[in-house]
Each structure stands twice: as structure tokens, then as C-alpha cells.
């Protein structure tokens, strides 16, 4: 499964580079006043990998859900997570106002890495049931899988 994801990430990296070279800006369809729609909105996204190949073992599965009003809720694996997200037609993504509870957790550092991955996400690509976040430098930050 990791091999399949690595191949998907390589293909999506190429597609992302092509999208990044586009000369026409896309209209913003996110924000506080517009309803968000698209494949990111609605389903629960469970953390699959950090980077291209690292799995985390957490007390609960890190996950998030994007509501049509742009609110984000979920878990970093230890703590509840809430915030907002903006999306646009160029697959840009921006998480803002992310806040977590701070419960004692033996994997607190990994939980912070999950939150940091979301805060640093710049673009996303979806391949079937996988959602991959890229940083502003086109580096793969991690991947999520749509929950059934």
C-alpha cells in the first residue's frame, strides 16, 4: 500500500508542478462568506502518512472534517482540533485559526507534527480516496485517506 501511495505521490507531484505554473489566477471559492464545496468538504479524512512514508501510532487516528461553512474539526491524534480552512479552484488550501486542546499524551510531539502539517499545507491533490498536502516548496507534507 505504501508503494502505491508513493507512486501516486510522484504522479501528483508532477501534476502539482504543472498546476503551479499556470499563469491565470483562480477565483477564491473559500472564505467566511462563501459555502465551500468539492471533494475535500464533507468526508472524514484519516491520517495515512506523514511525509511520503512515515506512519504514526497514536491514541486515536488523527483526522479532520471540513464543513461547508469552512470550519474544520477533528483530532491531531491526542487532542481535539478546530479551525477554519480556505480552498480555491487551483487546489490551494489554507488552514487558519487552528487550535487544539492540550491533554497529556505520550505522543504529544507527533500530535504537534500533525497540526504543523495542516498549518503548512499550501496545495492539495486528491487521487481516488487519498488526499495529499504539499508545502509551498512543492514538498509532500503528508497524506490522508477518506474514511468509509
CA distance 77 to 59: 6
The answer on pLDDT for 24 being more than 50 is no
Give, for 2, the enclosing helix (H) or strand (E): helix 2-20
Residue 54 DSSP symbol = B
Note the pTM of the prediction, 2 decimals. Answer: 0.77
Phi-psi region of 70 (alpha: psi -120 to 50; beta: other; left: phi over 0): left
Q: What is the pLDDT of residues 97-122, one digit of tens each?
A: 999 988 888 899 999 999 999 999 99
CATH classification of the domain holding 104: 2.40.128.270
* Pair 101, 78: CB distance under 8 Å: no
CA distance 40 to 22: 22
Total domains, the chain: 1
Confidence class of residue 13 from pLDDT cuts 50, 70 and 90?
very low
Give, for 71, the enclosing helix (H) or strand (E): strand 71-75
- Is 44 exposed, middle or buried, given 0-12, 13-18 or 19+ CB atoms closer than 10 A? middle
For residue 49, what is its C-alpha cell? 502518512
Q: What is the pLDDT of residues 56-94, one digit of tens each?
A: 999 899 999 999 999 999 999 999 999 999 999 899 999
Boundaries of domain holding 130? 2-146
Amino acid at each position: 500500500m505504501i508503494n502505491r501511495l508513493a507512486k501516486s505521490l510522484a504522479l501528483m507531484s508532477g501534476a502539482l508542478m504543472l498546476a503551479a505554473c499556470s499563469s491565470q489566477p483562480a477565483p477564491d471559492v473559500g472564505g467566511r462568506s462563501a459555502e465551500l464545496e468539492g471533494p475535500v468538504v464533507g468526508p472524514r479524512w484519516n491520517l495515512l502518512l506523514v511525509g511520503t512514508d512515515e506512519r504514526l501510532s497514536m491514541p486515536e487516528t488523527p483526522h479532520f472534517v471540513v464543513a461547508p461553512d469552512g470550519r474544520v474539526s477533528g483530532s491531531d491524534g491526542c487532542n481535539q482540533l478546530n479551525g477554519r480552512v480556505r480552498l480555491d479552484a487551483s487546489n490551494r488550501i489554507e488552514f487558519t485559526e487552528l487550535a487544539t486542546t492540550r491533554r497529556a499524551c505520550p505522543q504529544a510531539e507527533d500530535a504537534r507534527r500533525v497540526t504543523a502539517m495542516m498549518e503548512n499545507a499550501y496545495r492539495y491533490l486528491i487521487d481516488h480516496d487519498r488526499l495529499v498536502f504539499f508545502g509551498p516548496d512543492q514538498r509532500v507534507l503528508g497524506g490522508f485517506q477518506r474514511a468509509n
